[in-house]
A and B are shown apart, each in its own frame.
Chain A
Amino acid sequence: GDSVTQMEGPVTLSEEAFLTINCTYTATGYPSLFWYVQYPGEGLQLLLKATKADDKGSNKGFEATYRKETTSFHLEKGSVQVSDSAVYFCALSESSSNFGNEKLTFGTGTRLTIIP
């Protein structure tokens, strides 16, 4: 079945450092890929997404590129801020022509802490 493997945390960085959180996936078809972010005490929010190979998703300075050849969707940000401290989840949804199958498979999450 489908699966998502992401970098184990926790990750602690200094403000303005470069961030990479690795994510690789296994899927039988052509999935859509997502990064969700969970701030303390809140639910998950979509951060960015990519629906086909070579697509780059971006939002709030974060980027991730859908790499089919390496089955990866690594999250990057050039200069992190304290406000980026959160848990980040990589997820995939199998593409299906049969609507009703939009289920997400999540990675285990990576806790990121940014220190001033």
Chain B
Amino acid sequence: NAGVTQTPKFRVLKTGQSMTLLCAQDMNHEYMYWYRQDPGMGLRLIHYSVGEGTTAKGEVPDGYNVSRLKKQNFLLGLESAAPSQTSVYFCASCRLAGGPEQFFGPGTRLTVL
């Protein structure tokens, strides 16, 4: 039981490049979330999903897209990376009717030059 895993762990992009971050969970959780963590700002919600095939915007969705084609996977895409997207990205999942406790992945550190 790996819990929540994220791929890749580190990435460096040039401005304008695109990439996809993958989050996978093996706990059969219905809800999944993408956060970004920046110094002095805590975690901010980018997008979330309440089930396969559904996504919704969080607090800071601009510049990101997401997809949840399979229940266990939640993808975060950057179509045209900008230096302001340099951050640590965390994925989390949560079980329906299990209360709001979220389980987090180890994070992806992204640097955009």
Contacts and interface: CB of A to CB of B under 8 A. Distances in A.
Interface of A: 4, 32, 34, 36, 41-46, 49, 51, 89, 93, 99-100, 102-104, 106-109
A78 to B, nearest CB: 25
B74 interface: no
Interface of B: 4, 31, 33, 40-45, 48, 50, 58, 90, 92, 94, 96-97, 99-107
Contact of B104 (A44, A49, A93, A107): A44
Contacts of B40: 108
Given A36-B104, A103-B45, A109-B42, 13 more contacts: A34-B100, A43-B4, A43-B90, A43-B105, A44-B43, A44-B92, A46-B102, A89-B43, A102-B31, A102-B102, A103-B33, A104-B100, A104-B102
Contacts of A89: 42-43
Contacts of B58: 103
Contact of A108 (B42, B90, B100, B102): B42
B99 A32 contact: yes
A44 B90 contact: yes
B101 A46 contact: yes
